[in-house]
Structure 1
Amino acid sequence: MQLSQARSFQCLLALIVLFCSTISIAGEIIKSPNDSREYRSITLKNGLQALLISDPQADKAAASLDVGVGSNANPDERLGLAHFLEHMLFLGTKKYPEAGEYQAFIQSHGGNHNAFTANHTTNYYFDIDSSHLAPALDRFSQFFIAPLFEEQYTDRERHAVHSEYSSKIRDDGRRAYAVTKQVMNPDHPGNRFAVGSLETLSNEPAGALREDMIAFYNTHYSANLMKLVVLGKEPLAELEQWVTRYFSAIPDRALPPFEVKVPAYRASDLPMEVLIEPVKDIRQLSMTFPLPPSKASWPNKPAQLIAGVIGYEGDGSLLAYLKEQGWATGLGAYSDSSSAVETLLTTSISLTKEGLQHRDDVVAAFFSFMRAFQTTGLAQSLFDEEQTLAANDFRFLAKQEPIHYVSQLSQQMRDYPERHWIDAPYRLETLDQTQISQLLSAITPANMVLKVQAKGLETNQTEPHFKAPFAKQKISADRIATWQAADTQTALYVRHNNPFVPSDLNIAEIGSQKVPTELENTPHVESWYLPDTTFKLPKADLYFTLLSPFSRTGAKASVAMDLYVDMLNEQLNPVLYDAAIAGLSANIYAHSRGITVRVSGYNDKVGVLIDTIAAAMRHPTLPAKRFNVVKQSYLDGLQNAAKDKPFQQLFRVGYETLLNNPALAELNTAAQDITLKDIQEVPDALFATPFVRLFAHGNLTAEQTEQIARKIAETLQLENTASTPLEIAVKRLDTQALTKTVPVEHNDTALALYLQGSSTGIAERAQTALLAEILSAPFYSELRTEQQLGYIVFASPMSLRDLPGLSFVVQSPTASAELIETRINAFLDRQSAALRALTPDDLERFKNSLISRLTTEDKNRKERTNRFWQLLDKANIDFADRDKLVAAIKQLDNAQLIKALESLQQRRLTLRTMQPPE
């Protein structure tokens, strides 16, 4: 492509040494009307395609490189090799040979980094303070130019991969996925183990693994298969110069894309039933159907539309019917149209105990619903509604975190034409009834993979890597015939139009304030209001919370509150689902101080939804049949919490200890004995003397906010409200170290050390935050990377109601709790000397990194809402808190940090796991 004179001149100026090696296509990528950023697509001489994003307001820059190969390309004799390569790529390059240099640079400049290996792709990404993008790109690009792959790290990283695998052996999602792979078409590369282990990544003879990895890298990593996205505050021309300078040296091996050319399931294996024994007490049924390919029809999204109709939860829906029968608690439907060979459509249903016994009836109900769908098809009015909602979402698209945005776009570049890299997920062009009918006609009992995951199923095989018991069998002709002849259920029908589709999308003339103000004319409700049209969206967020003494009266009250909210959500689910798909989400949740409601989205019908929720809260419908299902689901959740990952269980016990929350065993006892009458008494107890706070933010007027607050008070019949909010006292640790041992059924051992601050003052909060910034990277590097204690290793700040603290966590498949504790203590013992050795420049860099994290501009309305809501939730509301914290951080020196760390170590809570007795 011939460059314009201006572009050629600009290129000559910028790249005296390099060729003018880019092909630029400007102004052709469709972006949201609400998006002020500038975009440019370039293709380097080596074939690498890059999307450049200039955002002058960005305080965080980010980049992502997507390689068009993943676990599907693993050699049969080297399962997990793609994942292992992802790990090794971070450990030094010819230009930057130190193994942890990249990670240290990113972390010390306010950034984050990560990568993941999927079946089809491997994605690498980072963000960083926007002033340091160029040197970060330099380091990042070297992974794909000249990685060292030093043999000294091979054994260490194969153990790291094994630790990652080991930490997920008892994860039921992973186990079910592993079984799914086992029963797939044996000629499909996705049917193999993908994570990797010490066995599959054997290094015998010495050096063999490195040789195989380098061969894989040279065979599959090529510039022509890579997609890059870079977002920075600089002009597009400058970003283009950097990308050309740093990424042009990636070798172009002219490799063909890795493609899967066989279906996931052989027709001769269908219909198939797979039974899986889980670790937790869960009951899940799923139906997967291989359908004709629809990848090329992405602008019309036929499979996605079908999944949307199946997954609907309002009146006439499959889920509403199954709930009425007492057979299900949840349902989801999704499609995968990424393959050129087929489309996979899956419906997943969470069953009750009764539903498990009636699982063939559940399947029959599904096919009864599909018969109704196949008869009526998708109405043009429903398609028009979906089209309108998708267009609204794109028109008012909010900014995402840069690190997530670039990762998402680098993957979308592979799936869609350049012009539609951004808008493809929101594009809905025409209703193709012919193709929808073609896809629907393939959703039959004879073309199904039926999976059931539950305790007590008869199994006869064991998946070799995750050790999940399972059975695979053909479905009998009698069952197929029964499903094909299932009675038509009049209660099942394709949904009607949505009453929550917004009609008023105007931006109010309210301007924007920097901080919330308190409104006066809202009796019984402390109301805060922040007008904000900064993001140019006809949207708002509204929180209201009821803080009640009732919530702190013991385990029975906690259980009653949880079940009351669960039943509220069940009652409101059809309404909330309609609102959600129309862009107005609601979340109702119980917590240790009461109940909170959040409504977020298009402001047109915020008041209507809030009023509906408040009415249900004050006068809920509490049928006994629903109570029995909700209670059983809650009991299942409590029992399954005792099977969470070890480090998660330690945190739960930590919160129980420090916040005086009921213990899991207490909750379980209370839940066993709870009655419907106990739930019926919750509203009167909850609304007797609550403190009520409301916060409205966004495209709402003060008058609208006051009206909503007054309506809440009226609907909830608030008369005797408290003048001050309920607070929770954090348990203060003394100098006598406290240790708790938690019985955990897991192969891994975990230990968490919590160091508690002595006060909530700004100075101590600043010291603890800076210590976390300084210690987190070396803790990870030493205990995970160097000492290989485990995959889950981290140090982080742990603030409880503004009381600062630090936590140090290790979950290990090999080390004992005693060894982990010894290693953590040894690390802490070395830190006084390390802090003393920090140069002024080092300390300033850590300060700037932390301040960058604290003062990052809100990317969207929700971030701003959450930031102010967290401040409003405190007993002492101070909107200048962040500025004061930053000022205190700037004043810190080495001696203060050493003293602060010594002080923190005087108040210790150690939580450790142990295997329960046989």
Structure 2
Amino acid sequence: MANSSKTDELVRVVRSPSDKRDYQHLVLDNQLKVLLVHCPDSVKAAGSIAISAGHFDDPPHTQGLAHFLEHMFFMGSQSYPEPSAFNDFLSAHGGQHNAWTGTEFTNFHFDCNANALEAAFERFASILKEPLFSDKWIQKEKQSIESEFRLKQKDELRRLYQVHKVTANQDHPFSLFSVGNLNTLKDDEHGTLQQKLKRFYESHFSANRMQLVLAGPQSLTELEAIATRHFSDFQNHAQPKTAITEPLYTEEQKGLFIQVKPLKDAYRLILTFPLPGIDQDYRNKTTSFIAHIVGYEGPGSLFNCLRDKGWINSLSAGGGISGSNFKDFNVNIQLTLSGRKNIDTILQWVFAYLRKVKTEGIEDWRYQERKITSELSFLYQEPTPVGELASQLSINAFHYSLEDTIYGDYRMDELNNAYAEKLLTLMTPKHSRITLIAPDVKTDREAPIYNTQYSVEKLTESQLTKLSQTPAEFIAKLPERNRFINDRLHPQPLENETLLPECISSSDLMELWHLQDTEFRVPKGHIYLALKLPAVTSSAYYFAIARLWSELIIDALNDDLYDAEVAGLHFNIYPTQQGIVIHTTGLSEGQLPLMSHLMKRALVLKFAHRRFRDIKQTLVANWQSAHQNQPLNKLFAELNQQLQPGLFRLPELANQLSALSFREFTQALERMFEPVYIKAFMHGDWQTRQAHELAELIQANLPTERPAQKDRDSVKKVSEFSNQELEVPCSHPDNAILLYQQGNNDSEREQICYMLLQQLVHQAFFHDIRTEKQLGYAAGSQYFPVQRLPGILFFVQSNSAPTDTLFDEVSDSLEKLFSRLDTTTLKVWHHTKAVLQQQIRTRDRSLRVKSQRLWGAIQLGDTSFNRQLRLLDALDNYQLTDWLTDIRQKLSQNSGWLRLQTS
């Protein structure tokens, strides 16, 4: 093996002290770079490869070719010619695969049960080294690309993105159409589509332009052997990637005012500042630091001042596209109707604030505060699942030095004053691109492909002068020192070895559970506080009010708690099927005072009428437009609403809020919080004394002496529906259908029954509907429990077939699949059980996941906390003959099926 690869012994990957993984960089003889990751506690393994080629490399005559190539890799290889071969194997071994095509990189990744790694990796290597590019599947997969394109044709982000492309430098590859469709992917004078795929593959998929990551519980030596065996013979044509030399924008394309008309009511203002590429600045993260100051939301901030004027609802900074020779720095503002009328003044405020940041804000103490929070995030990051880790690291290796493959995302060495000043010098009206998105804008052009209405004008000298003036009422301040930042870096000492939550306080009004975690020893935690409020879920009227109240509370508390968010103390307030939940998370130091602040302020806050109006308007607009362009999502939402009491249709919630006055709102709040029952959970490094402090805090702030009932509402049975075929109105041209089969009870055996069914049929169903029949890009099946009542659903969305055809095709596919269940062999049965067993046995990968699991059990009253063991016992005792008898009976019951389709 020494002759087939060389090890870089000098590289030591910087990692968190809590990271138990071992890392090793290699370079194979063909110049393929490899990162090996030994994950001792993982039951899964994964592989990922990143290629420095993306849609920027598309030939202008065949736009979308890189994306199409990504699809074709999964359509069979010389060693495994069946298109479903790789997917079938992964499905049978608890795994999955995916891929994406970006601007300058493409990524392929998979995961599977650890014992199947080498066999999976052999297949993974095969699809990349010897793709078939079969003409039969080229013709079929073109339809899939077309379906994917049509699925997002009315997506607002893509429509805006296309305007961005046509107003940028047409000689820069960003201007190319990245997705592709039937109009761009075709045979022409440049060759057949098959020939173009092969040319692209041979030109760009070269070992010297790849980064491979292989991760699993195997030793580094074993992982090295696997990587070497299967990738040391990958072609290397030794050609470097051609650098992009054209600027993203010409000088004429700066200092622009662009107006875009959205499909739904939306009011947004985006200031874009073109900057040079920032890859070399990752050790300092200057743009991230500037974005932190500009996007600050604490007292006196730019956001705070503009919001108090009633002009904006949100402001974020720093986002925007980036690449090897460019970076867009965006200031993204959600406007109110009043703000829409004051665009010029808002822009003056933003530019004045940027000047203030340049002259006063670039100070080392601010940078050091940001560095501390970044370091804490690195030290106590939650472990990433091995599949996500492999994909992430394969890309990181292209952007960071080898030792910083992990740390690069967090590293902040020192403030680069000169570079910060240089970047801020470019953040002026003359260098900006200002985009206004609103339904009432005047447009005179239409962007191709997505048919977006827009207009573009060059800012005049008088406009530039006006935008450079500081408003007389400008009072925005820079951030003060953050009082919430603390330096406690270690968890509190363990009191005992308790492994399960304990109820430390129970009464007619309250139930509090506590667990000091022994597994994840970090100074972090979660506090959940659920207020059971019968009024909230009694009607859409009260549920809408609860959501509005939650948003207003978050908005009102933002000023004095934004610094807490920055320092790693987070909170959220939201309505549920039971009432309202208050959730705090992050560093445990300071969470009790934070929860105390939330509880004391929540019930006494008085809201400004203007904020009531603005937030109400935003909620109504969001609810009215939700799922308009997502037929399948609309069906999923309708299914949940039909099955679960306490859930309501979004248009119905919008209607309830639309007519709501401020006076009615305040009167309704007085009735909403009585009666109440509180259920709480404290999980992290807190000791019992702190849990008792929380209990005292809750009791001192209970809003009522009259307790609500503790019982939970049951899930509606499909057999109770008078009509088991539901039409769901949808304005999108695509058609969609969903078939749902429901279990009879929530016993462990019943749950396992449906889990096994999903495991046995999901890959075959996807292959038949999506790959063979090409009915739609979005198709599949899913195990679908509702409050642990099991079920399974099958779905497809199509841009061509009517719903009756979809139903017939899905029914035909299911009939064939179900009939083949009788031929299930004992070998397949035992293998399927083994895969499912491993999935159920999966350990909590982080404190967050564990908290969510335990909190879910507490809410459902499952306080034995041993569901995993009960499920494993039911699985172990299930025999094939018994399962076949059970599943035949279930699938033959018409009363157990519910059909939803768009109309």
Residue type of the partner of 1:37?
R
1:100 is displaced (CA, Å) by: 0.9
Contact 1:377–1:437 at 8 Å: present in 2 too? no
Cα–Cα, structure 1 residues 293 and 735, in superposed 2: closer, same or farther, change >3 Å?
closer
Query: 1:736: Cα distance to partner?
Result: 6.6
Q: Which residue in 1 is equivalent to 2:687?
A: 701
- 1:84-118 CA-partner distances (Å, limit 9, x unpaired): 00000012112222221111111111112100001
* Cα offsets for 1:862-889 (capped at 9, x unmatched): 1111111111111443411121112222
**Aligned partners of 2:4 and 2:28 also within 8 Å:** no
Correspondent of 1:627 among 598, 612, 615: 612
Report the more deviating stretch, 105-114 or 333-342. 333-342
Alignment of 1:403-802 (within 5 A): 403-487=387-471, 489-510=473-494, 512-520=497-505, 524-641=509-626, 643-660=628-645, 661-722=647-708, 724-734=710-720, 738-802=724-788
Instruction: Work out the CA distance in 2 between the residues paired with 1:443 and 1:259.
Output: 26
Per the alignment, residue 221 of structure 2 pairs with 237
CA change 1:800–1:719 in 2 (3 A) is same
> 1:448–1:328: structure 2 CA closer, same or farther, 3 Å change rule?
same
In structure 2, which of residues 835, 840, 845 is the aligned counterpart of residue 854 of structure 1?
Answer: 840
Q: 487-496 or 426-435, which moves further after superposition?
A: 487-496
Specify the alignment match of 1:832 in structure 2. Answer: 818
**SS of residue matched to 2:776:** coil
The equivalent of 2:250 in structure 1 is 266
Task: Please give the per-residue CA displacement for 1:788-810, whole angstroms capped at 9, x wherever unaligned.
Answer: 00111021011112211111111
Verify: 1:912 aligned to 2:898, yes or no.
no
Find the aligned partners of 2:733 and 2:550 in 1 and give their Cα distance. 35
**Is the Cα contact below 8 Å between 1:588 and 1:596 reproduced in 2?**
yes
Cα drift, residue 579 of structure 1: 2.0
| Contact map agreement 1:117 1:123 (CA 8 A) in 2 | yes
Q: Is the 8 A contact 1:91 1:99 kept in 2?
A: yes
Q: 1:305 is matched with which residue?
A: 289
Moved more, 458-467 or 894-903: 894-903
Q: Which residue of 2 aligns with 1:8?
A: none
CA distance in 2, matches of 1:411, 1:901: 47
Q: Which deviates further from its counterpart, 600-609 or 266-275?
A: 266-275
Shift in Å, 1:522: 7.7
Query: Are the aligned partners of 2:735 and 2:803 in contact in 1 as well (CA < 8 Å)?
Result: yes
1:547–1:726 contact (8 Å) kept in structure 2:
no
What amino acid is the match of 2:307? K
Tell me the residue number matched to 1:882: 868
TM-score by length of 2: 0.96
CA gap of 1:429–1:522, structure 2 versus 1, over 3 A, is: farther
Contact 1:293 1:337 in 2 (8 A): no
Instruction: Tell me what 1:375 maps to.
Output: 359
Question: How far apart in 2 are the matches of 1:471 and 1:893?
Answer: 67
Structure 2 Cα separation of the partners of residues 428 and 414 of structure 1: 19
- Aligned mates of 1:314, 1:476 — CA distance in 2: 35
Residue of structure 1 equivalent to 2:311: 327
Aligned-partner Cα distance in 1 for 2:655–2:256: 41
Say whether 1:903 aligns with 2:890: yes
Residues 880 and 99 of structure 1: is their aligned pair in 2 closer, same or farther, counting only changes over 3 Å?
same
Whether contact under 8 Å (2:97, 2:111) holds in the other structure is yes
For residues 172-199 of structure 1, give each alpha carbon's deviation from its aligned partner in whole angstroms, at most 9, with x where no partner exists: 0111111111111111101111001011
Q: Is the 8 A contact 2:509 2:676 kept in 1?
A: no
| Of 891-900 and 29-38, the range deviating more from structure 2 | 891-900
Alignment partners' CA distance in 2, 1:28 and 1:361: 52
Letter aligned with residue 583 of structure 1: G
Amino acid of the structure 1 residue aligned with 2:161 = Y
**In the aligned structure 2, how far is the partner of 1:805 from the partner of 1:865?**
25
User: Could you tell me how far 1:680 is from its partner in structure 2?
Assistant: 2.4
Q: Does 2:198 match 1:214? A: yes
**1: CA distance, partners of 2:241 / 2:508:** 65
> Does the Cα contact within 8 Å between 1:771 and 1:901 map onto a contact in 2?
no
Greater displacement, 252-261 / 155-164:
252-261
Which residue number corresponds to residue 40 of structure 1? 24
Question: Which amino acid counterpart does residue 227 of structure 1 have in structure 2?
Answer: Q
Q: How much has 1:347 moved relative to structure 2?
A: 0.9
Superposition RMSD in Å: 2.0
Matches within 5 A, 1:863-878: 863-878=849-864
> Closer, same or farther in 2 for the Cα pair 1:601/1:823, shift >3 Å?
same
Give the direction of change, closer, same or farther, for the CA distance of 1:272–1:769 in structure 2 (3 Å limit): same
- Cα distance in structure 2, aligned partners of 1:262 and 1:606: 50
Aligned to 2:346: 362
Structure 1 Cα separation of the partners of residues 502 and 261 of structure 2: 55
Q: In structure 2, do the counterparts of structure 1 residues 78 and 383 end up closer, same or farther at CA, with 3 Å as the change threshold? A: same
Q: Secondary structure at the match of 2:214?
A: strand
Determine which of 349, 352, 357 is the counterpart of 2:333.
349
Q: Which sections of structure 2, spanning at least 5 residues, go unmatched? A: none
* Contact in 2 for aligned 1:512/1:534 (Cα 8 Å): no
- How many angstroms does 1:739 deviate by? 1.2
Give identity over the alignment, percent. Answer: 28
Distance 2:297 2:799 in 1: 42
Pairwise CA distance, 1:478: 2.1
* Change in CA separation of 1:403 and 1:234 when aligned onto 2, cut-off 3 Å: same
Q: Distance in 2 between matches of 1:38 and 1:495?
A: 40
Contact 1:762 1:884 in 2 (8 A): yes
Contact persistence 2:262–2:438 (CA under 8 A): yes
Native 8 Å contact 1:585 1:599 kept in 2:
yes
Q: Distance in 2 between matches of 1:294 and 1:652?
A: 41
Question: Residue 653 and residue 294 in structure 1: after superposition, are their counterparts in 2 closer, same or farther (change >3 A)?
Answer: closer
- Code of the residue aligned with 2:226 in structure 1: it is W
C-alpha contact (below 8 Å) 1:563/1:679 kept by paired residues:
no
CA distance in 1 between partners of 2:561 and 2:171 (Å): 44
| TM-score of the superposed pair, with normalisation by structure 1 | 0.95
Matching residue of 1:15: none
- Which residue is equivalent to 2:15? 31
> Partner of 2:589: helix, strand, or coil?
helix
